[in-house]
Structure formats: C-alpha cells, structure tokens
Structure 1
Amino acid sequence: MLCFMDISKLKTYSINARKSKVDKSFLARPLPAKAGFRSFLNSLPNLLKAKELREIVAAIVCARKKKKPVLLMMGAHVVKCGLSPLVVEFLKKGIFTSVSTNGAGIIHDFELAYCGRTSEDVACTIKDGSFGMARQTAEFLNGAIADGADKGLGLGASVGRWIEAEKLRYRKLSIAAACFRLGRLLSVHVALGTDIIHQHPSCDGARTGEATLRDFRSLTEEVARLDGGGVVVNFGSAVILPEVFLKALSVARNLTGRVRDFTTVNFDMNFHYRPHQNIVTRPLDGCGRGYYILGHHEIMMPLLFQAITEAGTI
C-alpha cells in the first residue's frame, strides 16, 4: 500500500522575503534601430557571461590606468580570422602591452604582410607533398630568425625587424611589425617541427631555439609586472601558450616572491582543459579572478575592442 505524507502541513514563506538571483533590473532591454554600440552594451543582461564581459573590460581599463600590463596571448587562428588590424590598433592605443604567440602566428602574420593572403588548403596540398612548401615564407622567416639570433634578438623582434626593414607591401597588417615599431614585446614560442618553415633546409634549429628561449625569458619579465592589477588575455591558444604562461609565472614568482592579485581571461571557441587549468584556475587560487568566455574569435575580439574603446579612458 502506498503511503503519502500530509502535504497540507508544508511550511511556506512569502516570495517577498526570499533572496532571488535574478532581478528585473538585470534583464536585457530591446533597443530602437540605429542605437549606438554603448547602448547595445548597456542593454545586455547584467547576468552570466554578459556581466563577466563588463567585468573583463573594467579590469583591462583599470590595469592600464594603473600602468599595469595587459598581456595578449594568442593562437595563430586569431590572424586567420582576420583580426590583425584590431590587435595592431590595441597595441597602438596602449591597451595590449605585449603579444605572445606560437610559431604559426608569425607565419600567417608574415604572409599577410608579404602578399595580403594566407592560410593554404591543407587538405588539398597534403595529398601531393606540397603542403608547407611556400618558398618565400620559409626563406624570409628562417632568414630573419637566424639574423636576429646572431644579433642577440628574440624571435618576435627578429621577424618584426625584417618586415619593417624590407618594407613589405602590407606591413601595416603585421602584428610583428607593429610590436617592433612601438617597442613592444612580441614573444614567439616555437615547438620545433610544428611549423611549415621547419620543413625547409633554411631552418636552423639552434638559432630558432636560442631566439625563442630569449622570448620566453623576456615574457617572464612581463609576467612579473602583473602583480597588483595586471591582466592576461588568451585568445585561442589551447596548449602552447597556457603551458608557457604557467612556467613564466613560476619563474617570476620564484625570483620576486610576488605576482598575485591579477586577472586572467581565456577566450576560445570550445572549452579546453589546459587553458582552464593554466590560465583561469591554477595561477590565481584565491589571489585574483579568472574568466572563461566561449565564442568565435571573429565576434568576441571586435566586441571586446569596441567595449574598451567606448570606455574611453585609456
């Protein structure tokens, strides 16, 4: 036989006395046609990721007001998504104080600067062994890296210097050239064998390794300056940059005994374990704030850029 409790004896309370997580003031607001971007941003719900986006913008603006660094780390896909002009403008406005990328980042950066085009059809060219065999890409980048290494430069500065010196036709699109012109750090973190220029006889492993190690050590100095309000923004690097950042942070803390109270943000199209651990979680552990925002780079970076621009305080 089924037995039911007497629900007529339930204890209830007034909803007016209850704490609620969603208030009418948090809700989205429809906008009229031709409303400006600031109105659009203010119309977003003050909840979840929209709320976090506002907090990220505020953290970046606050960092620059305090003269603290805002470090951009990015995968090469950011360049392939057509976002180089925004990164260059971020640098010119002093929003990003340095850029870190992987070896593929400088490949797409150079090709855009050289001929205004990049990103080959891998599925097609891998069939006949022509994938990655572009002559100019390998000769220019391997030459720049070797020359820069001999001059005591890091890998990023070596590439930016050559793009500027050779006056490549579309160099205004180059993040590497912009960093070189502005005196900003571009650190390039190479895993030998992962990039098409490593296939070519012009690649010098010793010089490449020497130059990329210099960039790692320069990055540790930038990371040390995060202490007390800096920001790290990672766009789309799922493995290399999260690993590099964690090691750079360990070195910086080992040598300074500090590097606390900063903000980290990971923007990516998918959720990945390594950025979540190495960017958003492990570096902070109660001494800062980490965010993970999912969305396509070609939407999220312009949104972030315009939101910061509208803040108008840098």
Structure 2
Amino acid sequence: MARPEPLSFEGLRTYSLRERPSKVSVEKLGRAFEAGLSFRDFLKSLPRELAARDLLEVARRVVEARRGGRPFIVAFGAHVVKVGAAPYLISLMEKGLLTALATNGASMVHDAELAMCGNTSEDVARALRDGSFGAARETGELLNEAARLARETGGLGRALGKLIAESDFPYRKLSLFARAYELEIPITVHVALGTDIVHIHPSARGEHIGEATFLDFRIFCRLVSELEGGVFLLAGSAVLLPEVFLKALSAVRNLGYRVEHFTTVNFDFIRQYRPLTNVVHRPTLSGGKGYSITGHHEILIPLLYGAIVEMWEGGHADL
C-alpha cells in the first residue's frame, strides 16, 4: 500500500480576523483589582463569560422580578442548611426579596437541630453500626409534633416555624422556618416517607406526615401558579424537588394558569439529570429562560446574595 501524500493547504480560503464574528472580546475579560476595594468592585471585575456572566444575569433577573412585584422562590435541599448558607436566605426574606421557600424533610431536621442546640449532622457511618443513627429524641418529638399540628397551623413548614419561633431554643433566630413564620413567608416541605430520621421514631404517624406534606404541596402549587414573570431557584436537590416542581407546574397549567415567561436556576456542585431537565430546560420552553451554575453552595449562594443586594440597594441592576 502506497504511503499517503501529505495534504497541501495551498488554495485554502482565508479571511480577515477583524471581520470574523468572535465570541470573546476584551470588554468581557476579568480585571484584577487591589485589596480593600468594595464587594461591588469585585463583582464589576468578574469576567462577563460563562458562569460569572450567568450569576450576574440571575441576580439582575431577581431584582427586576421583585421591582415588578413578581415572586422569587427558592427551593433547597438540606445541604444548603448544613453548609451554613441559611443566613443569606434569611436576610433575603428580611429585605423583602425572597417571597417563598420550598424544601425537603431533611432540611427540617438540620434547621431544627441547629435552633435547639447549635449543632447538627451526626456521624452516620459510626452511628449506623449500633443502630443509633437518627435516634435523637428531641428531633423526632419536635418534627412529628409539627406534622400533627400542620392542618390547624396551615402547613408542615409553617407548623415547624411556629414551634421554633415560640420556643426558648437558644438559636431560634437562625432558623429559616422560624423566620419565615415570623415574616409570614410561605415555606413548604415535601416529604418522601421513610427518607427522614424522624420517620423511625415512636411519635411518627404516617397519616399526619402524609396529610401535612400534601397540604404543603397544594400550597406550593398555589405559589407556582403565580410564578409568571418571577424567578425559581433550586439549590441542592437532585430528585425530589425537581419532580415536585414539574408536577406543580403541569397542574397549574392544566387548571388554566398562565405560567410561561419566568426564570429558572439550578445551583449544584454536580450536574444532575432531573434539575437540568425538569427545572432548567422543560419548564422554560414556552418562553422563559433557564440557567445552570455548577459550584458549591457555600460559595455560590453568598455570591448571588451579594450581587442581588448590591443591585437592589444600589438602586439599579447594572454592574
């Protein structure tokens, strides 16, 4: 077999670099800054590319939505609480920027334990050996009491918030649930039976938990029915909350509510199928826009918080 002749590039058509459409320009480059400058200066120094660009766009959309009286809903998994990001969400509620919260049962555990004693998140591998994992008495009693009281209180999340807010727990001011209750901001809890440690306690009643979380689902559907023009952000739930959101959106559209033009955002440190498909892509096909930003919650949430506050309190949404 004859050896192939090297291809000649003689005659290849070229064009001027200056006339070529390009995706990166010097205006989008990051800018180094000196120590001691403000957080706003830091934000302005970020590159206008990829995740940095998207983060600022998300913050701008939140600010524009709230200035227009539209909702900003945050759905989050327990990891957001465990890594210390709850105070940023509390501050957004207090500033009138965060209008509703949705979460899973594990978030109730960690939020309540932090409020009760300032600690949470046991060593599962060690405790599992002797079956003591998940057996903290106070946690089981409090959360199962919240499920029992949910019907008369107005929901599972609201019941837990009321119990913590009216307690003498030393760290109750750090509770997302308590602060949401005090500010009259909806916080719904979406429980999968058998997934949370309190379900193995003697005080657990399936009929209470099921009724309570179904009530919260219906409340969440009401919140989604009002999402037109707003922002829905998911942080740290790979399966449960994306599925809850998708069913809620389908239900409200089926009932005739117009929810088509809104923004969805997914924050997580791993790109997962359901958040990308059921939050970012499918819901926004009718005219909205979805963003997916990969990174750690303990970094992304403070950054987004800072950008939102700078744009909101600075009087304009331009950095």
Q: Output the TM-score relative to the length of structure 2.
A: 0.95
Superposition deviation, residue 144 in structure 1: 2.2
- The whole-number CA distance in structure 2 between the counterparts of 1:179 and 1:65 is 21
| Local SS of the residue matching 1:260 | coil
| Local SS of the residue matching 1:312 | helix
Superposition deviation, residue 152 in structure 1: 5.4
Kept in 1, the 8 Å contact 2:266–2:280? The answer is yes
1:89-145 C-alpha deviation (Å, 9 max, x unpaired): 111112211110000001101001111111111011000000000000001111122
| Local SS of the residue matching 2:74 | strand
1:230-273 C-alpha deviation (Å, 9 max, x unpaired): 00000111111100000111111111241011000000010100
Q: Output the TM-score relative to the length of structure 1.
A: 0.96
Structure 2 counterpart of 1:19, one-letter code: P
Identity of aligned residues (%): 49
Kept in 1, the 8 Å contact 2:153–2:159? The answer is no
- The whole-number CA distance in structure 2 between the counterparts of 1:32 and 1:166 is 47
- The whole-number CA distance in structure 2 between the counterparts of 1:265 and 1:178 is 24
- The whole-number CA distance in structure 2 between the counterparts of 1:221 and 1:135 is 34
Superposition deviation, residue 86 in structure 1: 1.2
| Local SS of the residue matching 1:252 | helix
Equivalent residue for 2:28?
26
- The whole-number CA distance in structure 2 between the counterparts of 1:6 and 1:172 is 73
Structure 2 counterpart of 1:141, one-letter code: L
- The whole-number CA distance in structure 2 between the counterparts of 1:140 and 1:246 is 30
Equivalent residue for 2:237?
237
- The whole-number CA distance in structure 1 between the counterparts of 2:8 and 2:109 is 72
Kept in 1, the 8 Å contact 2:71–2:99? The answer is yes
Alignment of 1:235-314 (within 5 A): 235-313=235-313
Equivalent residue for 1:217?
218
Q: 2:51 aligns with which of 36, 49, 52?
A: 49
| Local SS of the residue matching 1:57 | helix
1:186-218 C-alpha deviation (Å, 9 max, x unpaired): 100000100000001100110111111111001
Task: Please provide the CA RMSD for this pair.
Answer: 1.3
5+ residue gaps, structure 2: none
Superposition deviation, residue 153 in structure 1: 2.2
| Local SS of the residue matching 1:256 | coil
- The whole-number CA distance in structure 1 between the counterparts of 2:252 and 2:9 is 61
1:47-89 C-alpha deviation (Å, 9 max, x unpaired): 1111111110111001100111111000000010011211111
Kept in 1, the 8 Å contact 2:76–2:102? The answer is yes
Higher mean Cα deviation, 36-45 or 7-16? 7-16
- The whole-number CA distance in structure 1 between the counterparts of 2:252 and 2:193 is 25
Superposition deviation, residue 8 in structure 1: 2.4
| Local SS of the residue matching 1:129 | coil
Q: Which runs of 4+ in 1 moved over 3 A?
A: 1-6
| Local SS of the residue matching 2:165 | helix
Alignment of 1:138-217 (within 5 A): 138-149=140-151, 151=152, 153-217=154-218
- The whole-number CA distance in structure 2 between the counterparts of 1:133 and 1:42 is 48
- 1:69/1:3 CA distance change after superposition, 3 Å: same
- The whole-number CA distance in structure 2 between the counterparts of 1:303 and 1:224 is 29
Is the aligned partner of 1:112 residue 2:140?
Answer: no
5+ residue gaps, structure 1: none
- The whole-number CA distance in structure 2 between the counterparts of 1:65 and 1:81 is 30
Structure 1 counterpart of 2:253, one-letter code: R
